[in-house]
Amino acid sequence: MSAQVAVVTGGASGLGEFIVRRLHAEGYRVAVSDVDDSAALAAELDGTGATARSYRVDVRDRAALQQLLADVVADFGGVHVLVNNAARTQATPLMEITPEELDAVMAVNFTGTFAACQIFGAHFADQGYGRIVNMASLAGQNGGTATGGHYASSKGAIMSATKVFARELAPRGVTVNAVSPGPQDSPMVRAIVGEDSLESFAENIPVRRLGDPAFIARMVALLASPEAASVTGACWDANGGLYMR
């Protein structure tokens, strides 16, 4: 049997890149999907295209997601895992968020994730197997602090959608789970918090440190594995103790 195929949206950089690298290292053939060019990452992982390929896709476009599924199946012969990682992050003050900005953030973060769950979920259900991992956020659980209210709201909606799709697809051999990171040691967090404020910011985290994106990628890979068959509708937290339940 050929290695399983995983699609990672927003996979060209940031946390998505960590996830792509982890899955590829574990033997998955990886489709790196991003609105930005992901060809360099795919070529670095496998210049032949046998185990890594890039796909330029805007998750706001449902037809583009449908084409992504068709292209990956044509290129790799199938698909088994979807990681919904594509996201738009903005830290606009709550009362200054315009309707246009709200729509733009929700279109990427929530609508894109929901549509991908429908499109890939139906395909997985038809084949009797699949793994979907949605990237949530601490902001969706506690309302957010450094991020914008629209971002926090979209991530809360993703956690609800995870449960809805998990319940729908469970009898068909498809699991749907979420991973909810707190602040990570990443360029995005450093930009939002500011390098001069990082130390004091970390002091307010119970474990006194930012998270490790490589560990988040390991969590995603575990949920994406065939062995994770009994885990569905779950949200795995990694927030340094900022939110406990």
Q: How far apart are CA 38 and CA 23, in angstroms?
A: 16
Q: How far apart are CA 169 and CA 134, in angstroms?
A: 14
In the residue annotation, 55 being an active-site residue is answered as no
Q: How far apart are CA 174 and CA 245, in angstroms?
A: 26
Residue position matching structure tokens 């998505």? 16
What strands lie across the sheet with 52-56, from one edge to the other? 52-56, 29-34, 5-9, 81-84, 130-135, 174-181, 235-238
What is the amino acid identity at position 170?
A
Q: Cβ contacts of residue 85 below 8 Å, gap of 6+?
A: 8, 9, 10, 11, 15, 16, 19, 135
Q: Which of 28, 55, 129, 151 is catalytic?
A: 151
Catalytic residues: 151
